[in-house]
Amino acid sequence: MKICFIDNTLFKYNSSDIYSKNLRGAETVLINLSNSLNDLNHKVTIINNCPKSEILNGIRWINIDEASNIENYDLVISNGDCRLFKYANSKNKILFSHSIQTIEKFLRKKQLYSFIKYKPKICFISKYHKLNRSKLLYFFGSINLKWSVDKIFQSAPVTENIDNNLAIFTSREGRNQNLLIDIWKNYIYPKNNNLKLLINSQNKENQKYNIFNRVQQNQNQLIKEMSKSRLFLVPGHRAELFCLAAAEASQMCIPIVTLGYGCLSERVIDGKTGYIAKDEKEFADLTLKLFKDNNLWLTMRNYLIKHRSESNWQKVASDLIKQIYD
């Protein structure tokens, strides 16, 4: 198939930036999925704010300002914006939605007219995503995909050289990091002041509670920090439709404790790969339990090791094509 992705993210990127610290989940998904479609011998074009138009590893990258020739494709995928379908023609159109969109939000962002004009199918990436989107906004149909994670997380060694007092949070600050800090300060640190938490913050005041800033350089540094961590703590957030950060932690075989907000209850098998707490106090208690009980922690870690790498981007790419043909 001849496939085109269109993205209007303001910062410049192409596939060589896959491990950049600036890349967010939506762009990481686009690169990994396009690479896997290319590996399956599909002809892939990406129109975005790339530094320059060029062919990289068999994929054609076109700077959006130079996309003057409207070509025909078997499938066109817009990364979050219905208006971008004007750059390419296809009878098969899919909108990747990375937020809970309402009719009001579609109107405010001036996308409703384009949605009606181009009639794309919506791609849902979790049950939570589908349940919290207006049914009118998938009037033209939908597909269901479950994202994978980059292969570097699946191939990273599962080391025994971990810090048994260390937990980590790697989602964005706005995804309830402050709530996690409050839980740590009020319920976890007072009961065990040997424990440490790595987060995305420069606030030195937090250090007196053993909350430290992560070294945010690139994905290789992230792998290094996660490899040393005993637990992955993530409350969740209503805006989390998949949470790649939690999926990456699972592939690194790190048990997760969450409040299940957003899609996080779908990222954890409660009691097997971590815990879904019913409130902040239980979140803290379960965290302390997993720090203290080595047998329990090892059982969860071994379960994660056994089921590691059951998902990959080629499976996602194949599933996408299958659903288009169906």
Alpha carbon distance 180, 169 (integer Å): 9
> What proportion of the chain, given as a percentage, has pLDDT over 90?
79
Cα–Cα dist 109/111, whole Å: 6
Quickly list DSSP for 114-171.
Answer: HHHHH-PEEEE-SHHHHHTS-GGGGTT-EEE------HHHHHS---S--EEEEEE--S
Host domain of residue 180: 151-306
Query: Smallest Cα–Cα separation from 258: which of 151, 160, 175?
Result: 175
Asked if 180 and 80 sit in the same domain, the reply is no
Q: In which band, very low, low, confident or very high, does the pLDDT at 326 lie, cut at 50, 70 and 90?
A: confident
pLDDT at 258 exceeding the cut of 70 = yes
303 — pLDDT class (breaks 50, 70, 90):
very high
Say whether pLDDT at 217 is over 70.
no
Q: Which three-class secondary structure state does DSSP give residue 173?
A: coil
Mean pLDDT of 256-275: 97
pLDDT at 81 over 70: yes
**Alpha carbon distance 301, 273 (integer Å):** 7
> Bigger pLDDT: 214 or 310?
214
Q: Based on the fold, state whether residues 184 and 111 are members of the same structural domain.
A: no
Asked if the model's pLDDT at residue 267 lies above 90, the reply is: yes
* pLDDT average, residue stretch 171-190: 96
CA-CA distances (angstroms) from residue 30 to 115, 124, 262, 304?
21, 15, 22, 26
Same domain assignment for residues 127 and 166: no
* 118, 88: one domain: yes
CB 143 within 8 A of CB 124: yes
Domains: count for the chain:
2
Give helix 294-306 / helix 280-292 axis angle, nearest 10°: 90
Q: Taking all residues of the chain, what is their mean pLDDT, rounded to a whole number?
A: 93
| Same structural domain, 82 and 185 | no
Tell how far CA 210 is from the center of its chain: 27
Output the domain CATH number for residue 253. Answer: 3.40.50.2000
- Domain co-membership, 18 together with 48: yes
Distance CA(226)–CA(304), nearest Å, equals: 15
pLDDT over threshold 80, residue 218: no
Strands across the sheet containing 142-144: 54-56, 59-63, 43-48, 2-6, 75-79, 93-96, 121-124, 142-144
What integer pLDDT is reported at residue 311 of this predicted model? 85
Query: What is the C-alpha R_g of the chain?
Result: 21
Are 109 and 139 members of one domain? yes
Longest dimension (CA), the chain: 64
- Asked whether residue 156 falls in the same domain as residue 275, the answer is yes
Choose between 211 and 138: higher pLDDT: 211
For the residues 36-44, what does the mean pLDDT come to? Answer: 97
CA–CA distance, 233 with 59 (Å, rounded to integer): 37
pLDDT tens, residue by residue, 144-168: 999 999 999 998 989 889 999 999 9
Please indicate, yes or no, whether residues 114 and 56 belong to a single structural domain of this protein.
yes
12 and 157 inside one domain: no
Do 171 and 302 fall into the same domain? yes
Task: Find the distance separating the first CA and the last CA of the chain, reported in whole Å.
Answer: 15
Q: What share of the chain is helix, strand, coil (3-state, %, to 5)?
A: 40, 20, 40
> Residues 33-48: what's their mean pLDDT?
97
Indicate whether 243 and 212 sit together in one domain: yes
**What is the tens place of the pLDDT at every residue in 100-117?**
766 777 777 788 889 999
Let me know: does 267 contact 246? Beta carbons within 8 Å.
Answer: yes
State the Cα angle at 30 between 145 and 97, rounded to 5°. Answer: 55
**Joined tokens for residue 70:** 């409207």
